[in-house]
Structure formats: C-alpha cells, structure tokens
DNA sequence: GCACCTTTGAAGAAT
DNA sequence: ATTCTTCAAAGGTGC
C-alpha cells in the first residue's frame, strides 16, 4: 500500500525542502481544531475514502467530505466550467480510456484527475501521445521555446504555426485541487465570479479545513505528482519558466515583510472579500 | 489580446 | 541551508 510517508518516493521531485510533503509546518492559527497544520509530523494518510483507483478522478467530486454550507446540486461538478467539457461519469475503478475531448489533444481538460494510469497506456501508446490534461497546446498565450527535452523534437521549426507544440503544465498542488473542486460551490454561494475574490475565500476556507480534510488533498496532489513524473520523466517545472510574459515587476519588498506574499507585491488585505461571503469559521 | 489579480503549494534558482 | 521566484487554476478587469 502506498503509505505516502514512510518511504520517500524514490523519484520524488528532488531538491524540495519538504520532500513532497509539507508535514513539518508550524502551528496554524487558522485551523479551528488545533494548532497544527493538517500534516504535522506524521502523515495521516487518509486513504481516499472513495476507494477508487488512484488514477481515476483524483478529485472526489462528491463533496462528501465537506460541510461548508450547503451543497450546490445544481452545479454539476463534472462540468469543466471553462471549456464546458463534460466529464464522463467515470465511476469505474479502472478507467481504461481517456476522456477524449472533442477536439482531441488540443483540448484542455480540467485537472490531471482522470487521466489513465500510465501502465494502462498499453503498448504503442506513448505517453506524449495522450491528451493529458497537463498538456496544453500552444495557445499563443505562452511563448514557446523549443519544446521540452523529452518531447519529440519538432523537425521543422518553421512550421510551428501549424503544429503547435503542447506545453506540459505543472501538476496541481493540494490547494489547486481544492480550488478546482470547490470553486463552483463558492461561486454559487457568493454570487461572485471574479477569481481573485473567489480565491481569497478559498484560501480562507482552506485554512479552516481540518487536517484530515486537507490531508486528502495533499494525498491527491502527491499522486498527481507521481503520475506526472511517470508520464513525463524528464519534465521539470523549469521547462515552463519564462513562458508567461510578466510585466516588469517591482521589488516585492513590502509584500514579504508582512508574512504574506503576493506574486506582484500588491497583496491586499483580506477585506477585499466582503465579510458576508466568508465562512463563519474564519470570521 | 493578454497581463493582472488572488490564493497555496511545489520546485527551481539565487543567495 | 535558507530565501526568493515562478507557475500551476480561474475569470473578471483594465490596459
């Protein structure tokens, strides 16, 4: 069984200070039930209660584990909100297929949550040939250098307009997985749509989660990373560095001083989110 | 059209 | 070893 903790994954991403698990976090005043962050010194390996194959939907879309407010049954969580791609009701333990989007490889699927197990790819099905959600085509949004070292080299660079080279995205971390699952619910509850505000709420709710609830997402994220490694052995986060055009950013001297960081040094106080939209536990 | 905003976490780079 | 930076998602906003 995958204890997720006793052994470091041999191939786990190198160089991490926490070796894949942030289990040595300090006390977290946000947490309602204790002073420790969800994953303290020992992984409370919460095996996914849904008991599905680890590589079937890693995100349990049932929302069973959460008690934040009311559910939003009218919001089918299996809909990719952005692309409107409907997720196949994949209840099988072994998803021997990939939910091929209508447009094939070029379509982004919501998360890495339901791609097939690499071992099931079968012979002749190269990993790079699958429409992995982490692979996105060059949309013109991100600049492409020559593609990453593990992908098939493009024989004719001049043709890159036609043959858009896909980008392998980073695997989602625990919070990102949580956001993906809970975003629709928060939107429904708050009638907000702006992601920045939604994310603030989600950030607070994340802190309000119990350690067991958070552990579930850490575990999912860990599996996503493992699978990502299996699918793209030579991939590095560095491959995507510089693909987002950033405007000249100012020094982040202020933002870090207060213990909170912002990617652009413009961290705003949390009052940005109306208190009425915040869960009771964080008020 | 695209960067920004906003969040946390992971990983790589820099110190 | 520690700190800093970048990128993952997402969708409204503003340049």
Per-residue pLDDT tens over the stretch A102-159: 333 333 333 444 444 443 343 333 334 445 667 776 544 433 333 333 333 333 444 4
How far does the CA of A198 sit from the C1' of B6, in Å? 8
Confirm if A262 and A200 have CB atoms less than 8 A apart: no
Please report where in the chains the tokens 């890159």 appear, as a residue. A160
pLDDT of residue A216: 96
Query: Which structural domains are found in chain A, ordered by start?
Result: 174-231 (1.10.30.10)
Per-residue pLDDT tens over the stretch A155-193: 344 444 444 567 899 999 999 999 999 999 999 998 888
How far does the CA of A264 sit from the C1' of C13, in Å? 16
Average pLDDT over residues A88-92: 34
Please, which positions of strand C sit below 7 A from a protein CB?
A: 2-13
Q: Which nucleotide is nearest to A243 (CA to C1')?
A: C7
Task: Please check whether strand C approaches the CB of A47 to within 7 Å.
Answer: no
Name, in order, each residue with C-beta under 8 angstroms of A85's C-beta and a sequence gap of 6 or more.
A79, A99, A101, A102, A107, A109, A110
Average pLDDT over residues A54-83: 36
Task: Please check whether strand C approaches the CB of A261 to within 7 Å.
Answer: yes
Q: Give the residue among A172, A181, A222, A178 at the shortest CA–CA distance from A203.
A: A178
Q: Is the pLDDT of residue A58 over 90?
A: no
Q: Is the pLDDT of residue A64 over 70?
A: no
What gap in Å lies between CA A83 and CA A81, rounded to an integer? Answer: 6
User: Residue A87: which region, alpha, beta or left (left: phi > 0; alpha: psi -120 to 50)?
Assistant: beta
């Amino acid at each position: 069984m995958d204890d997720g903790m006793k052994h470091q994954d041999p191939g786990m991403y190198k160089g991490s200070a926490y070796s894949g698990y942030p289990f040595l976090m300090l006390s977290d005043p946000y947490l309602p039930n204790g002073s420790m962050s969800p994953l303290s010194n020992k992984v409370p390996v919460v095996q996914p209660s849904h008991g599905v194959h680890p590589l079937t939907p890693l995100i349990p879309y049932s929302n069973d584990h959460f008690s934040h407010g009311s559910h939003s049954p009218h919001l089918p969580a299996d809909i990719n909100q952005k692309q409107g791609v409907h997720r196949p009701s994949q209840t099988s333990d072994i998803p021997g297929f990939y939910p091929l989007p209508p447009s094939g490889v070029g379509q982004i699927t919501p998360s890495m949550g339901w791609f097939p197990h690499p071992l099931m790819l079968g012979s002749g099905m190269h990993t790079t040939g699958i429409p992995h959600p982490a692979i996105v085509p060059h949309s013109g949004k991100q600049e492409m250098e020559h593609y990453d070292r593990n992908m098939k080299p493009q024989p004719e660079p001049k043709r890159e307009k036609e043959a858009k080279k896909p980008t392998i995205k980073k695997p989602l971390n625990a919070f990102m997985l949580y956001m993906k699952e809970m975003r629709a619910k928060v939107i429904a509850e708050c009638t907000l749509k702006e992601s920045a505000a939604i994310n603030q709420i989600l950030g607070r709710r994340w802190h309000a989660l119990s350690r067991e609830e958070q552990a579930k997402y850490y575990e999912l994220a860990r599996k996503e990373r493992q699978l990502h490694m299996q699918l793209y052995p030579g991939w590095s986060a560095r491959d995507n560095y510089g693909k987002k055009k950033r405007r000249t950013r100012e020094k982040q001297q202020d933002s870090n001083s207060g213990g909170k960081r912002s990617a652009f040094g413009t961290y705003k106080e949390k009052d940005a989110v109306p208190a009425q939209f915040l869960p009771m536990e964080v008020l």
